[in-house]
Amino acid sequence: MAETGGFPSRGVWRRPGLRWVDVVVVAALVALLYGLLRLAPSLNAPFLPSTAPSRVSTDPSNLPYYAVRSLVRMFAALVVSVVFTFVYATAAARLKRAEKVLLPVLDILQSVPVLGFLSVTVTAFINLFPGSELGLECASIFAIFTAMAWNMTFAFYYSLMSQPRELDEAARVLRLTKWERFWQLDVPGGMIPLVWNGMMSFGGAWFFLAASESISVLNHTYALPGIGSYAAAAIAQGDLGKVGIAIAVMVVMVIGVNVLFWRPMVAWTDRFRVEESEAAERPRSLVLDFLRRSQVPHLIGRPLKPAGRWLDRATRPFGLAEHPIGVSPVRERTGDVFFAGVISVLVVYGAWKAFGYVNSTIGLGAFGHALALGAATFGRVVVLTAVATVVWVPVGVWIGMNPKVTRFAQPVVQVLASFPANFLFPFATAAFVALGISLNFGAVLLMALGAQWYILFNVIAGSSAIPSDLREAMINYKVGGWLKWRYFILPAIFPSYVTGGITAAGGAWNASIVAEVVDYGHHHLTATGLGAYITQATATGDFPKILVGISVMSLYVVAANRLFWRRLYGLAETRFAL
C-alpha cells in the first residue's frame, strides 16, 4: 500500500517562482519610471517670456520626444480631471444647497472655451514659477484639463443621481461611512460611464492639443515641445508633408493609448455591471489578461490594504452615509433663504463690476454685437446636435447591443474619436478654397469633427450597460421593430443620450474657437460667429472683448441647458432610470 504524504503537502509551502510575465511587467514599470525621471529636468528648464520661442522645430526627428511630452501632459490632465470629478460631482449630488450653485457653475465652465482659460491662467502660472518652464507646462496641462473635466463630471454626477434605490438603502442599513459608501458604492456604480466618458474626454482633449501647446495670448505666442505645437508650426508653414507625418505619429499614439490603456480599462470596468444574468460575451483585452496573469499588481496593492482599512476607521467620525431625518422645516427654509441671498449678492456684485469694466472700455453696445454673433454659432450648434443625433444614435445602439460588433467596432470608434480632427483642418481649408465653400457653412463640419463623438460614445455606453435579462426578455416576447425602439431601446439609452447631448453641445461651443477661424499657409478663413470673436480677441489680448465673448457664450449655454437639457435630465431621472 502506497504511503500518503503528510499534511500539509509540499505544494502549500512552495512559493510561486518568478515567471516571464512578471519579468515583462517589472521591466515595463522600470522603463516607465526611468523615462519620467529623464524627462523631469526638461519640464523645469529655464524660461523667460521675452525670449521664449514662438514655434518649435519641424524636424521630424524630434517627433518621438514631442510625442512623449504630449502624452505626459495628457495623462497629467486626466489624473487632475478624475480628482476634480470625484470631488465636484459628489458635492453636487450630495449637498442639495450646493447643487443649486455647482451645476450652473459647471454649465458656465463647460461653455468657457480653452482660449478663455488661457488668457487668464498663462500669466498667473508663469508668475507662479518665475524663470522656469514649469509654469508654462502647468498652464498647458490646465488647458487640457479644461477640455476633459466637464464631460466626466456630468457623467459621474448623473450616475450618482440615478443609483438604484435598493443599493442606496443597503448602504444606509449597513451603516457605511461616507468614505466607505463612496468607494464601495458610488465609484463602482459610476465606473462604466466614467471610463467611457473619460475615454471620450481624452479624445476631445487631443482636439485642443495644438491650442494648449502653442499658446497665443497677449500678442505673444509661447510654444512648448509637443506634437500639437509641431502640427501648428507645420500648418503655419503650409507644409502638408510634415502635417501628414504629424498625423501618422498621432494615429500611432492614439492606437497605442487605446490598446495599452483604454481597452484594458473598458474590459476591467465590466466587472461593475449590475445585472442578474451574465452577458453572453464580455469585452476582452490582451493587456488586461496579461496583467492578471502577473503577480506584480497584487504585490504592489498588498501594502496599500492596511492604509485603506485605516482610512475606513479614521473617516467614521465624519458621519454615516445618510441624510439627516429630523430637520426642522423652518430651519431648513431659513437656511435656504440665507444661502440664496448670499449667492444673489455675490452674483449681482460681480455682474455690476463686469458691466462697469466693459462700459468704461468698449461700451455696453459690445454685448449686442456679441449676442448677434452668438446666434450664428448657436444655429451651427443646433444643426450639429440634430444631425449627430439622427446619424449616431442608431449606430451607437447597433454597436453597444451587439457584443461581437463591439469587439471590432469599438477600437475603430475610439481611434476616430480620439484623433485630433483639427489636424485635418488644412486639408479641409484647401477643399473649401478650391470648391468656393464659405466657412460659415464649413464650420459646422469642422465643429462636428470634434463634438459628434460625445453622442456616439454615450449611446454605446448606455446600450452596452442594458442588463442582459432585459434584452433576453425582449427576445423571449419577440418584441421588435418600432415597438422595441419606443418601449425598450430609447427609454434605456435616454439617460446616456442626454449626457452625450449636453456634452456634445458644450463641446461644439468650445470647438467653435478653432473651427470659425482656420489658417493654412497664406489662406485665412473666418466665419461669422462668437468663436471667431473670442479667438481674435484672445490673440490680440483684448480683455474687454474676451470678457464679453465668454459672458455671452456662457449665457447661451446656460440658457440652453436650463430650458432644454435640464428638463430632459429630470425626465431621465424620474421615468427612465434603470
What is the per-residue DSSP string for 91-132?
Answer: HHHH-HHHHHHHHHHHHHHHHS-HHHHHHHHHHHHHHHSTTB
Nearest to 254 by CA among 409, 412, 145, 415: 415
- Residue 360 CB coordination number (10 Å): 9
User: Is 50 exceeded by the pLDDT of residue 453?
Assistant: yes
Q: Give the type of residue at 295.
A: Q
Can you give the pLDDT at residue 379?
Answer: 92
DSSP string, 413-431: HHHHHHS-GGGGHHHHHHH
pLDDT in tens, 232-263: 788 777 777 888 888 888 888 888 888 888 88
pLDDT band at 81 (very low <50, low <70, confident <90, very high): very high
pLDDT in tens, 396-424: 888 888 777 777 777 677 677 666 666 77
Strands 220-223 and 517-520: unpaired
User: Is 90 exceeded by the pLDDT of residue 85?
Assistant: yes
User: Is 70 exceeded by the pLDDT of residue 2?
Assistant: no
Q: ∠282-284-288 over CA atoms, to 5°?
A: 135
User: Is 90 exceeded by the pLDDT of residue 462?
Assistant: no
DSSP string, 236-249: HHT-HHHHHHHHHH
Report yes or no: 132 and 139 within 8 Å, Cβ to Cβ: no
Nearest to 93 by CA among 459, 573, 507: 573
Can you give the pLDDT at residue 329?
Answer: 65
User: Is 50 exceeded by the pLDDT of residue 70?
Assistant: yes
Rounded to whole angstroms, the Cα distance separating 543 from 131 reads 25
User: Is 70 exceeded by the pLDDT of residue 290?
Assistant: yes
Among the ranges given (8-22, 43-57, 78-92, 406-420), the one the predictor scored with the smallest mean pLDDT: 8-22
pLDDT band at 512 (very low <50, low <70, confident <90, very high): confident
Rounded to whole angstroms, the Cα distance separating 246 from 7 reads 64
Helix (H) or strand (E) holding 527: none
Residue 177 DSSP SS3? strand
Residue 302 DSSP SS3? coil
Rounded to whole angstroms, the Cα distance separating 397 from 488 reads 12
Overall average pLDDT of the 291-315 stretch: 75
Rounded to whole angstroms, the Cα distance separating 428 from 408 reads 29
Helices vs. strands in the chain: H and E counts, helices first: 28, 4
Report yes or no: 357 and 547 within 8 Å, Cβ to Cβ: yes
Report yes or no: 151 and 197 within 8 Å, Cβ to Cβ: yes
Can you give the pLDDT at residue 418?
Answer: 66
User: Is 60 exceeded by the pLDDT of residue 134?
Assistant: yes
Among the ranges given (26-30, 119-123, 314-318), the one the predictor scored with the smallest mean pLDDT: 314-318
318-326 own/partner pairs: CB under 8 Å, 24+ apart: 318/177, 318/178, 318/179, 319/177, 319/178, 320/172, 320/175, 320/176, 320/177, 320/178, 321/171, 321/172, 321/176, 321/177, 321/178, 321/180, 321/181, 321/185, 322/172
Rounded to whole angstroms, the Cα distance separating 149 from 216 reads 22
Q: pLDDT higher for 425 or 153?
A: 153
Work out the burial of residue 381: count CB atoms within 10 Å of its CB; fewer than 13 is exposed, 13-18 middle, 19 or more buried. Answer: buried
Nearest to 53 by CA among 211, 210, 213, 221: 221
What average pLDDT does the structure give for the chain? 78
Report yes or no: 113 and 531 within 8 Å, Cβ to Cβ: yes
Distance of alpha carbon 284 from the chain centroid: 23
User: Is 60 exceeded by the pLDDT of residue 224?
Assistant: yes
pLDDT in tens, 193-213: 888 888 878 877 877 777 778
User: Is 90 exceeded by the pLDDT of residue 308?
Assistant: no
Residue 223 DSSP SS3? strand
Can you give the pLDDT at residue 356?
Answer: 86
Buried b or exposed e, range 230-241, using 16+ CB within 10 angstroms = bbbbbbbeebbe
- Residue 421 CB coordination number (10 Å): 24
User: Is 70 exceeded by the pLDDT of residue 578?
Assistant: no
Q: pLDDT higher for 347 or 7?
A: 347
Overall average pLDDT of the 149-158 stretch: 85
| Percentage, residues of the chain above pLDDT 70 | 83
Residue 163 DSSP SS3? coil
Rounded to whole angstroms, the Cα distance separating 227 from 62 reads 9
Q: pLDDT higher for 346 or 2?
A: 346
pLDDT band at 327 (very low <50, low <70, confident <90, very high): very low
Report yes or no: 196 and 266 within 8 Å, Cβ to Cβ: yes
User: Is 90 exceeded by the pLDDT of residue 365?
Assistant: no
Nearest to 148 by CA among 194, 105, 183: 194
pLDDT band at 510 (very low <50, low <70, confident <90, very high): confident
Overall average pLDDT of the 332-351 stretch: 74
Q: Give the type of residue at 562.
A: R
Q: pLDDT higher for 218 or 475?
A: 475
Can you give the pLDDT at residue 216?
Answer: 66
Q: pLDDT higher for 81 or 413?
A: 81
pLDDT in tens, 377-392: 999 999 999 999 999 8
pLDDT in tens, 156-183: 888 888 777 777 777 777 777 778 888 8
pLDDT band at 126 (very low <50, low <70, confident <90, very high): confident
Residue 466 DSSP SS3? coil
Nearest to 470 by CA among 327, 578, 309, 351: 578
| Percentage, residues of the chain above pLDDT 90 | 6
User: Is 60 exceeded by the pLDDT of residue 9?
Assistant: no
